[in-house]
Structure 1
């Protein structure tokens, strides 16, 4: 007769002492020279590239259209930026290189274009996480990065061929990028010691806001100097080069890495094998669908994605419509929130792991950093339409609102590694796929609101983002967990 026995990790003193000795030996190796942190920086670069490729249209849109559309009228008149920074859109268009195509797209069409890349991402986020767990992250991410880079190079031609071609290109690019996002988390099942996962994951994920920052910053400069098509050519070419680096330096597990030290390899293997089985477990689909901690991740991620995607997609358009800056200065100003997000994204992981060393409960740490990434940014963003008379205050609040968002990277976005380490790649992909629906709906709804209400459009956009973001936070604070769930624990059959 067979019965199911739950496997529990041993906690004998000899094993604990051995792990401590291994950790002390490992501390002699500088962090920046360790292989696992090298892997984190390579994934950081990969995230930088694909994110930049996905958002460059947000800044080029200012010069791709002959009218950025909605220009609100507030009760107070906005103070203009310093004279050197203000050429106006008309002067901007005149200074652009000749033979650059300009299109007549309404705000609704612009919203659809912003969202179209996310149409494809929701199709591959969950499957790619599962596939990466089966065949390896190296193959999945390499294929997706190369595909995204080729489609980025093709985007200017697609725009000239017509709106249908451009939207189709963006959708297929989203399918490719979704594989990179969902697939990369399978790597940390075998490379990330539990007490270092916050730092490793946030170093990797912080490439996304940096990619957004650099893409918007350089996108404005390149658009003014060479024309908006060269923004796509340059970032597409860099992505192809990055794909080669990925294939050379990334390996799916420490055992197969040719340059890792023996001490570090043994340390990583001994750390992760306590949580992750070497077998290929079947997915407990019914248990996952009934899990409130899993749904709290999904819903909070959905609400946070709505908020962050609103900032990402509409920051250049908002700055252009409020302050009438040229494309170059728009790029500099629009990049500030995302540059701040890059710095805070790395610090968020350091803060989370520091709190864990001070004996904070893991669930407390996850919820605390999630609150920091949602509550203050929401409050700052919703207050912006009421203070447009002062551009310094507006840009300060916008920078803080965008900068604090990555605290959630050390919270809800890696929570799957806590509640179900054995299925973390699939759960992370599934939760991000669910959240990606917000990235589709947000630009579409925002474009509609901006078109329908020429006076209070931006106020309505920010109020909606505030309400959605706070509701997701409350749900996560109530139902979020950070302990391994019963359905995610390894079990074996024993004979009685």
Structure 2
């Protein structure tokens, strides 16, 4: 696509940034909207609109790069509602001892990345780059239809849930969720030390993920001179690893929870796997970065161990305030996803001369420092205890019926 329209490296990075520019803002309101109106139809709307925008992307690219930038920006707005809304559904459906697996299911988005890169490489090679947009749009529409059919906002709204399962879920959440919806305790949230520890932990996590998502294929192709078709397959390996490790860490964390390990101790222990080990692995690029296969191994292990974030930064909003889990996640994700449009520009700055492995090393060092520093801050100041402001505030309207 870039070759067709002869875009410069700067223009390519600008287009990569467009999605994240749109993605950032909705995080501030996505959780509030989901907690007020429910997540089922909101997620369906995201699926549907994303499909329409994607199918129109080849047309916008043929018109002008600015048109494609706008399309990518709108796609980012849709994406900005997704994860916060999912946290709202998790807070209403997942018993405390099973939230690790529920949160791990959000890594399904990484499965999409892992499958899309190699598959789209083959499709583009045989049918042209436009076909990649059309195929993903059709698949997204199919997912939207399935979602609308099988998902409900809460157990009491599901038409086919077993009565004993419904009673078990509601009983396990009765001490965490209030029956009346409450006003958001903004002052309490933004004066909470555990909230800021979570914010920094999540920021470093998302920075690393966005770097690998937007820049890994470019790194392997341009800096390592690795064949683009093989690079697509190799670039999928870190996301497959993150998916597998994420579910393993989620299941392990749930096991520890069921056996009486305190949530705060568990979150801080898993920071070693989700942040410290990935940071150390990224430092390894300074010493063995000339070999493309070793680089791929380091990237795969780094993102694989980062799958433990399903038990740290990804789950901590559910710990601090189950009543406002979607909103808390939206707030921290708002700041974290700013890295989505900063990261490509940082990469462009460090690699603007010769795009060599030596220039890329600085980016990996920066990632490693962020990972490790944020983990240390969370270990010192973070918490997984339900905060008092989870049940403070004024009451209005039924929570479970919204």
Q: Normalized against structure 1, the TM-score is what?
A: 0.76
Matched residue, 1:457: 359
- Secondary structure of the residue aligned to 1:396 is helix
- Secondary structure of the residue aligned to 1:280 is strand
Partner Cα separation in structure 1 for residue 223 and residue 394 of structure 2: 62
Matched residue, 1:121: 23
Partner Cα separation in structure 2 for residue 120 and residue 307 of structure 1: 19
- Give how far 1:492 is off: 8.7
- Secondary structure of the residue aligned to 2:102 is helix
- Structure 2 spans left out of the alignment, 5+ residues: 396-402
Describe the shift of the 1:281–1:383 C-alpha distance in structure 2 as closer, same or farther (beyond 3 A). same
- Structure 1 spans left out of the alignment, 5+ residues: 1-63, 67-101
Deviations 1:82-135 (A, max 9, x none): xxxxxxxxxxxxxxxxxxxx1222222222222211111111123111111111
Partner Cα separation in structure 2 for residue 492 and residue 162 of structure 1: 50
Q: Does 1:167 align with 2:104?
A: no
Matched residue, 2:270: 369
- Give how far 1:163 is off: 1.3
Q: Does 1:206 align with 2:84?
A: no
Moved over 4 A (4+): 452-455, 490-493
Matched residue, 1:39: none
Deviations 1:420-442 (A, max 9, x none): 11111111111111111111211
Partner Cα separation in structure 1 for residue 394 and residue 142 of structure 2: 46
Partner Cα separation in structure 2 for residue 207 and residue 370 of structure 1: 21
Partner Cα separation in structure 2 for residue 140 and residue 397 of structure 1: 38
Partner Cα separation in structure 1 for residue 120 and residue 157 of structure 2: 39
Matched residue, 2:2: 65
Deviations 1:270-289 (A, max 9, x none): 11122101111001111111
Q: Does 1:356 align with 2:257?
A: yes
- Give how far 1:65 is off: 2.5
The number of residue pairs the alignment matches comes to 394
Structure of greater Rg: 1
- Give how far 1:453 is off: 5.9
Describe the shift of the 1:108–1:473 C-alpha distance in structure 2 as closer, same or farther (beyond 3 A). farther
1:452-491 equivalent positions in 2, closer than 5 A: 452=353, 454-455=355-356, 456-490=358-392
Describe the shift of the 1:385–1:166 C-alpha distance in structure 2 as closer, same or farther (beyond 3 A). farther
Comparing 477-486 and 320-329, the one that deviates more: 320-329
Give yes or no for contact 2:182–2:394 (8 Å, CA) kept in 1: no
Q: 2:38 aligns with which of 116, 120, 136?
A: 136
Give yes or no for contact 1:416–1:424 (8 Å, CA) kept in 2: yes
Q: Normalized against structure 2, the TM-score is what?
A: 0.94
Q: What is the RMSD of the two structures over their aligned residues, measured on CA atoms?
A: 1.7
Partner Cα separation in structure 2 for residue 240 and residue 320 of structure 1: 32
- Secondary structure of the residue aligned to 1:482 is coil
- Give how far 1:475 is off: 1.8
- Secondary structure of the residue aligned to 1:274 is coil
